[in-house]
A and B are shown apart, each in its own frame.
Chain A
Amino acid sequence: MHSIKKVIGKIEFGILAPQEIRKMSAAEITVPDTYDDDGYPIDGGLMDKRLGVIDPGLRCETCGARAGECPGHFGHIELARPVIHVGFAKTLFRVLQSTCRECGRILLTDEEIEEYMHKFEFAEGRRSEINRLIKEIHKKVKERKTCPHCGAPQFPIKFEKPTIYWETRIDEEGNEYKHRMMPSEVRDRLEKIPDKDLSLLGFHPENSRPEWMVLTVLPVPPVTTRPSITLENGVRAEDDLTHKLVDIIRINNRLKTNIEAGAPQLIIEDLWDLLQYHVTTYINNETSGVPAAKHKSGRPLKTLSQRLKGKEGRFRGNLSGKRVNFSARTVISPDPMISINEVGVPLAIAMELTIPEKVTEFNMEKLKKLISNGPDKYPGANYVIDPEGRRIRIMETNRETVLEMLDIGWTVERHLMDGDIVLFNRQPSLHRMSIMAHRVRVMPYKTFRLNLSVCPPYNADFDGDEMNLHVPQTEEAQAEARILMEVQNHIISPRYGGPLIGGIQDHISGGYLLTREGAYFTRLEVEQMLMFAGVDVDELPEPDRVEKGVEFWSGKTIFSLLLPKDLTIWYENKVGCKDKEKCEKLKKAIEEKLVLSDEEIRELSDDGFVYIRNGKLLSGVIDKKAYGREDGRLLDLIVKEYGTERGKQFLNQVTKLAIWVITHKGFTTAIDDEDLPQDAIERIREIIREAENNVNRLIQAYEMGELDAHPGKTLEETLESLIMQKLAEARDQAGDIASQYLGMGNHAVIMAKTGARGKILNITQMAAMLGQQSIRGKRLYRGYRGRVTTHFKPNDLGAEAKGFVVNSYKSGLTPTEYFFHAMGGREGLVDTAVRTAQSGYMQRRLINALQDLKVDYDGTVRDPSGIIVQFRYGEDGVDPMKSWGGKTLNVDRVIVRTLLKMRGE
């Protein structure tokens, strides 16, 4: 549609010369006023029609265009006396210090000039190097007392912020006195500097002469950059810049008349300073040492610098970041029934967002149907665009005519429909998986729906999170999103080369319930769950068991239906082997023979060791190691060997299957999951007694001086670490006892063991005891002098006085224990808060440092100027996302697959 007409070769920055300002000026502005009483722009005023127009109906006197079409034109103000540009005040100071006050030459000898010229050449335009040299020259030159060229004595110059320069002169009698250098004097000196010396001061003499930093002419920005707003009551409110310019012109005119009238020097200098103040605040109203120019209401004016600076300034707010159309934002909620690469879009949003579709002979009928539905009936269309690019809104009134006119070559902006590709995003967008492409599923109600498996990459939950949706408008953008950004392409994380998207929580528990030893299902159940999971099977496999004429299938058999038919893999799962030797034997047998006979399997199979032979799960239960995130071996393998599409299908089916099982078997955890029999409680109490005795013995030994200090530690530190060791031991022992009494019949244990949610430690803390509370890895000690709370004697080193909690969450904490627990908990909260702030800042700085680096076609990593950063990307040239856990290829897998293929033939 739009072809590139011109290519930008290079951009050069410089300072506007007074002559340039006059040349680009459309009018000289002399009247400190805007509109006359009739609301008409005053000639020579700040709203002069030659500067462009903003009122409808008027025509610009420079280009003749109407408001909205005329881009605006600059004007200028001839300043009665020159003033310093605040933004350059520091640079001017440096230049004044570096040059001779008489002849204007740089205060370097000819030899030095020669030497530095050479060094500049060597720097080859490297900015950091050049800046260093300029600094070095300045440092060397500012101490010089006489000019090496004309021999004139130099006086030290002082710079008083923001815009005043003092010269410490010496008169004939040798007395020091201070002379204020007015801007005109500064300008005179700068004019004398010859072009050839300027490059040593860091100037490009053609683009920026130093005297241009002292303003003699002030450009007046076009009216369009400072439009006035008409309030409801008809009163005009002028832009802050206009206000400031009015001040400048008023003072400038007064200064001019006073000079012409021959007013005393004192009055002229006062007005001159006032002009300087106004120009300074016009450029930057936050200059330190200058009181900010304020509005009548007391609000500081927003002048040029303020428009550009900061987060909401022109650069960060309008150029680096923009507001976009074709986007939507709403609350998210879960939907386990949609695919991982789908997103549920509320009907109301689908009718607002549109996709432009070109009319062809193939889709003409479909699009006509949409147009006749109009904007208010789903699936409809909101606009049509004719071949000339005119946009016509579809309404009741013009629907018929639009339908009649519609032809090939037109474009219809139709409602979002099922299958359309959209980008879905959740802030903070920390990695590339924070924006992924999804397929649309239009749904009722008002929230975005997403599959639970994609929560981890977005770091989303449903406690009120909102997410954004963007609709790519061109075919190119849609294709790009589809190929690069769709969810299934991000199952494998580029961080560690394993799955980032996988089954979570109930998906894992459900997988365990399905595949554990002794799980059998009737024909009805099997048919139901396969239907639910969307598995297409022509015929069920042979039943694993028949009892009294009823057929039963094992969960392992059903699970196998989801696997690719030639998949072979073995690994020890998360649940782990109870009988290590048996597993070792099984592993060895598999490694030797690859394909085991049914007999051997019956003999060696174990729930703790997974063996899948040609797409049949023969041993082991399915847990987090199979398709969980981070260590889903099975999912990883399917994605890498069978492609992302198969990986997506597997994940969709397996999660749904697990959900069916868990909902129909029932799965819950309650307080009775933490019930321990009386003798277990007795044993735990015994352990606590034992630990306390041990601690007391240690303290006694310490007090008697029998304790030997560990290397590198004081005696007190030694005692502390010994006590901590003993108490940690006690908690572990209590945990061991608790888990002895809690088996796989306990749902909390199932979740912990399979990796669905929680750790065994959490169960221990609920059922047996909480253990030692700590701050910064130390036992609690802060509070009163020598004790944490007043419930203990000062300097009590015992377990209970320093934050050892013997109770469990279930048995309930004593008041002191509760307080200790709160102390430890607070540290965790503070830690997370501090960590997010710190890592956010680090992330920002890393991005700023790395954003322009790219991998070149020769595999090197370079910055935009071609400077090499790495000679090979990542030192090995491997894309971790396409790798096997960081390695280019997995030799074992190649061998296994080759052997299997050979056996198969």
Chain B
Amino acid sequence: MAAKRKFNIFDHELVPEHRILSDEEKAELLKKYNIKLSQLPQIKASDPAVEELGAKPGDIIEIKRKSPTAGIYYYYRIVVED
């Protein structure tokens, strides 16, 4: 990190909200869908949004998206190594 970022991608209107799930939320999510971590959709650690959040591989990111059908739609992705 040489210079400070001039531009925060989350300020852009097309970038949906991202959030790191806490450990409890993680456990709850896995229980809700009865899945293992490996069955979640993945997102690379080098993804700009993940870098911005500072999430580590193994974290789950919650993405709050606008959906033309459902209004608001939550999507969960597990951070994986690049």
Contacts and interface: CB of A to CB of B under 8 A. Distances in A.
Given A871-B74, A876-B69, A126 B38 contact: yes
A872 B41 contact: no
B33 A124 contact: no
A37 interface: no
A872 B35 contact: no
A850 to B, nearest CB: 15
Interface in B32-77: 33-35, 38-41, 67, 69-70, 73-76
Contacts of A876: 67, 69-70, 73
A875 B33 CA distance: 15
B28 to A, nearest CB: 14
Contacts, number: 39
Interface in B8-35: 33-35
A876 B67 CA distance: 9
A878 interface: yes
Q: Is chain B's binding surface mostly helix, strand, loop or mixed?
A: mixed
A886 interface: yes
A865 B74 contact: no
B79 to A, nearest CB: 13
Nearest to A126: B38
Given A858-B33, A860-B33, A876-B67, A867 B73 contact: no
Given A858-B33, A860-B33, A868-B33, A875 B38 contact: no
Contacts of B39: 862, 865-868
B74 A866 contact: no
A430 interface: no
A869 B69 contact: no
Contacts of A860: 33
Given A874-B69, A876-B69, A878-B69, A869 B33 contact: no
Contacts of A124: 38
A820 B34 CA distance: 65
A126 B81 CA distance: 14
Contacts of A875: 67, 69-70, 73
Nearest to B75: A871
Given A858-B33, A886-B69, A869 B41 contact: yes
Given A858-B33, A860-B33, A867 B41 contact: yes
Contacts of B35: 866, 868
A828 to B, nearest CB: 32
Contacts of B76: 871
A868 B35 CA distance: 9
A331 B24 CA distance: 65
A868 B41 contact: yes
A867 B35 CA distance: 8
Interface string A873-905: 011111000000010000000000000000000
A574 to B, nearest CB: 27
Which of B39, B41, B76 has the largest number of chain A CB atoms within 10 A?
B39
Contacts of A867: 38-41
Contact of B33 (A126, A865, A871): A871
Contact of A868 (B40, B67, B69, B70): B40
B38 A872 contact: no
Nearest to A865: B39
B71 to A, nearest CB: 8
A126 to B, nearest CB: 7
B43 to A, nearest CB: 13
Interface in A91-139: 124, 126
Nearest to B29: A871
Nearest to B34: A858
Contacts of B69: 874-876, 878, 886
Contacts of B73: 871-872, 875-876
Contacts of A865: 39
A871 B76 CA distance: 8
Contacts of B74: 871
A771 B25 CA distance: 64
A874 B41 CA distance: 16
Given A868-B40, A876-B67, 8 more contacts: A867-B39, A868-B33, A868-B39, A868-B41, A869-B41, A872-B73, A876-B70, A876-B73
17 contacts: A124-B38, A860-B33, A862-B39, A866-B35, A866-B39, A867-B39, A867-B41, A869-B41, A871-B73, A871-B75, A871-B76, A872-B70, A875-B67, A876-B67, A876-B69, A876-B70, A878-B69
Interface of B: 33-35, 38-41, 67, 69-70, 73-76
List of 6 A-B pairs having minimum Cβ-Cβ separation, nearest first: A876-B70, A876-B69, A875-B70, A875-B73, A875-B67, A124-B38
